[in-house]
Amino acid sequence: MLELDAITKVFRKRGPFGGGRSTVALDRISVRIGDGRTLGVIGESGSGKSTLARIALRMIAPDSGTVRFGGRDITRVSGKALRDFRRKVQPVFQDSAGALDPRMTIARILREPLMLRGDVPRAEWSKRITDILTAIDLSPALRDRYPRQLSGGQRQRIGIARALLMEPEILILDEPVSALDVSVQANVLNLLRDLQRDRGLSYLFIGHDLSIAEYFCDDILVLHNGVQKDFADAETLFRDPKDDYTRTLLAAMPRQL
C-alpha cells in the first residue's frame, strides 16, 4: 500500500551570525505498510516518528529516498496527483481539541470533507454525517454541538470520522490515544480495529508506548535519534528483538502480574 524507501531528512538551523547546525531527523529509513495491516512506529520524543508521518502524508519532502503509494512514486508529485493521494491517505492527530475548529459545530466540521471531495451531492451530506457518527458509536444528536462540549474521546472519534469521510485507504494515526484516559484509549483502539476490519483500512500508527503497539500493531518499526533499530512483525519483535535499544525498551515495559 505505502512504501518508504531509504528516507533521509535533515533539518538545518541557521545561526544569527551565519553558520548553524544540522540535525538528522531520519537516516535512510525503509518500511512498508501492507494491505489491511497496521505498522507501528515507536520511539522516544525526538526519534523522528512525527517527521516520518509528515513525509508519509507528503506534508514535507524527504531530502532523499522515495515514497510510493500503490507502487507509484509520489515523492514529488503535485497538483491533481497530490490531491488524489492526500484523499487516500488521511491523518488523525494527537491533539483532538486543536485539530477541530472551535467555532464550528460538529455537523459543519464533518461537512468540510464532503465539500472538498466534490463528488457527493449536497442533498446526501446530512445522511452521510448521520451514518459516519453511527459508525463511530456517537449519537447523531451531537452534530449540533461544538468541540468544547465533547469529551476528549468523543473529539478524537470526530477526528477519525472526518478522515473517514474522504474514503481513504490509509490512516496516519499520530499518537491518537496518548492524550486520553486509559479506559478511553482501549475504546478508541477497539473502534479503530473494527473500522479496519469493516473498511479494509491500513494504518501507520505513531506512538511511544510498546504495550499499546503490542496490542494494536501487526508490524513495528523502532526508531532512535532518526535511526532504524528494529523492524519486524510484532510477535517476532517482542520475542526476539535484534537491537539492544529495543531490548531496553522491552525491559522497561510494565508487566501484568
Q: Which pLDDT tens digit goes with each residue over 133-156? A: 999 999 999 999 999 999 999 999
Answer yes or no: is 187 within a domain.
yes
Contacts of 37 (CB under 8 A, 6+ apart): 202, 203, 218, 219
Q: What is the largest CA-CA distance in the chain?
A: 59
Answer yes or no: is 160 within a domain.
no
Nearest to 223 by CA among 252, 239, 245, 203: 245
Question: Which pLDDT tens digit goes with each residue over 154-188?
Answer: 999 999 999 999 999 999 999 988 878 888 999 99
The per-residue pLDDT for 96 is 85
Q: Residue 254 pLDDT more than 70?
A: no
Which one has a higher pLDDT value, 22 or 104? 104
Q: Residue 202 pLDDT more than 80?
A: yes
The per-residue pLDDT for 94 is 87
- Mean pLDDT (the chain) is 92
The per-residue pLDDT for 256 is 46
Q: Residue 257 pLDDT more than 50?
A: no
Answer yes or no: is 154 within a domain.
no
Measured between alpha carbons, how far is 31 from 203 in angstroms, rounded to an integer? 13
What CATH code is carried by the domain that includes residue 189?
3.40.50.300
Answer yes or no: is 163 within a domain.
no
* 78: three-class secondary structure by DSSP: coil
Answer yes or no: is 147 within a domain.
no
pLDDT > 70 fraction of the chain, expressed in percent and rounded? 96
- pLDDT confidence band for 105 (50 / 70 / 90): very high
Answer yes or no: is 247 within a domain.
yes
| Average pLDDT estimate for 222-237 | 94
The per-residue pLDDT for 18 is 62
Answer yes or no: is 181 within a domain.
yes
Range of the domain at 194: 2-98+170-251
Q: Which long-range contacts (CB under 8 A, 24 or more apart) does 157-160 make?
A: 157/188, 157/191, 158/96, 158/100, 158/106, 158/109, 158/110, 159/92, 159/93, 159/96, 159/99, 159/100, 160/92, 160/136, 160/188, 160/191, 160/192, 160/195
The per-residue pLDDT for 255 is 55
Question: Which pLDDT tens digit goes with each residue over 48-74?
Answer: 999 999 999 999 999 999 999 998 999
The per-residue pLDDT for 249 is 87
Looking at the structure of the chain, the number of domains it has is 1
Answer yes or no: is 156 within a domain.
no
